[in-house]
């Protein structure tokens, strides 16, 4: 049976070069980076080299990169610290952010009594910039939290424009860039972002490691206390092999960016064309069918399938060896459906089966042909 992986927005396959690099570090550089002997100094040097590599690709200071366990911890670090340490009273966001942001904000309301204001969205899931500008006029200490690329519908936010608005209105800006780093270049010397969250496993790196960009002299304090690791910003013995895996994956991603983006874009175009030909009544959610306004890495398609068949569609695809998803893997156990699609689809369309297919360099057009054939069979 075919085994086809179209769930790269959930996680990606490790590159072989990353595995080799991590294995070498696991075997040879096992010292604790906080130890002062040569084994410890060697591990510390590896971590600091990785930090400089990350900073170089984002055009920021190495001291502004804090390694974390992933995007969720990075989001929590930025948001919770901004409220606790920087006096933020109001956070402006949308209802289609990742739950790492939305659930953190819910908890901050309970703990600190902050105000959360949600921006209106159009039928494609895009914000109203005039409304954002209006909300930024209020005098209290504010933070805007908006993801760069939506993980379910692929919409791309103009973070440069948001950053400029925030700067003009003395407002902090946090962005979850988990779906964009490694796939898009971001120049932090040119974009006014105060906090940025990243996860390595979205660009063919290992799970369990990411980083938080924290603009210099922000004044935030750690969430996790213990040792003085990560310049006192994040206690806990560093996972050297994972940090090296992140570094290697990031280097390869940006070295091959032009070539791989072109290839994956052809896959997305081919998928859209194939779906439109096979299912003329299918629609693409958000801007995922628009190559200009959505990421090249995913599509989210609403299929014209009978309501009684909809609940077993994913199961049937899995039986045929096809991995895709209804939305974020982080909420796969939920029976409520996608919180993102619930905000932009009418009730009738929300009841139809919507699937997210996300692509990588390891996918092929032949795999797309197989998926479309299986879907036609199911219809």
> Which is it for the CA torsion 316, 367, 285, 129, positive or negative?
positive
The Cα–Cα gap between 119 and 98 comes to: 15
Structure tokens that stand for 345 in this block: 């689809």
Q: Is 346 a catalytic residue?
A: no
234 within 8 A of 66, measured Cβ to Cβ:
yes
In degrees rounded to 5, what are phi and psi of residue 322? Answer: -105, 125
CA distance 17 to 251: 11
Q: Which of 60, 166, 324, 330 is catalytic?
A: 330
Report the C-alpha gap between 264 and 14 in whole angstroms: 17
The C-alpha angle 301, 302, 303, rounded to 5 degrees, equals 110
Angle in degrees, CA 327, 73, 337, rounded to 5: 20
CA dist 353 and 310 (Å) reads: 5
Distances (CA, A) of 92 to 87, 138, 172, 224, 334: 15, 11, 10, 26, 26
Catalytic residues: 330
């Amino acid at each position: 049976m075919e085994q086809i992986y179209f769930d790269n927005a959930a996680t990606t396959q490790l590159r072989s070069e990353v595995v080799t690099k991590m294995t070498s570090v696991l075997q040879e550089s096992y010292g604790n980076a906080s130890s002062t002997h040569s084994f410890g100094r060697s591990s510390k040097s590896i971590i600091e080299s990785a930090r400089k590599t990350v900073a170089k690709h984002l055009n920021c200071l190495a001291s502004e990169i804090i390694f974390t366990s992933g995007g969720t911890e990075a989001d929590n670090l930025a948001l919770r610290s901004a409220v606790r340490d920087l006096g933020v009273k109001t956070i402006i966001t949308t209802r289609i952010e990742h739950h790492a942001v939305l659930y953190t904000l819910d908890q901050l309301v309970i703990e600190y009594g902050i105000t959360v204001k949600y921006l209106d969205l159009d039928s494609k899931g895009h914000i109203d910039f005039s409304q954002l500008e209006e909300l930024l006029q209020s005098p209290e200490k504010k933070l805007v939290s908006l993801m760069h690329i939506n993980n379910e519908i692929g919409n791309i936010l103009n973070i440069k424009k948001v950053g400029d608005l925030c700067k003009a209105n003395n407002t902090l800006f946090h962005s979850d860039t988990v779906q964009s780093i490694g796939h898009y270049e971001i120049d932090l010397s040119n974009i006014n972002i105060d906090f940025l969250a990243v996860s390595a496993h979205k660009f063919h790196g290992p799970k369990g490691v990411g980083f938080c960009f924290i603009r210099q002299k922000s004044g935030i304090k750690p969430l996790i206390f213990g040792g003085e690791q990560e310049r006192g910003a994040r206690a806990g013995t560093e996972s050297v092999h994972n940090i090296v895996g992140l570094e290697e994956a990031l280097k390869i991603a940006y070295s091959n960016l032009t070539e791989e983006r072109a290839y994956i874009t052809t896959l997305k175009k081919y998928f859209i064309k194939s779906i439109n030909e096979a299912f003329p009544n299918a629609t693409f959610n958000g801007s995922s069918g628009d190559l200009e306004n959505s990421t090249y890495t995913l599509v989210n398609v609403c299929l014209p399938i009978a309501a009684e068949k909809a609940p077993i569609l994913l199961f049937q695809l899995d039986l045929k060896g096809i991995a895709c998803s209804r939305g974020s893997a982080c909420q796969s156990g939920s029976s409520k459906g996608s919180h993102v699609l619930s905000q932009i689809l009418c009730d009738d369309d929300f009841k139809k089966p919507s699937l997210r297919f996300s692509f990588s360099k390891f996918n092929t057009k032949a795999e797309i042909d197989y998926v479309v054939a299986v879907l036609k069979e199911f219809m």
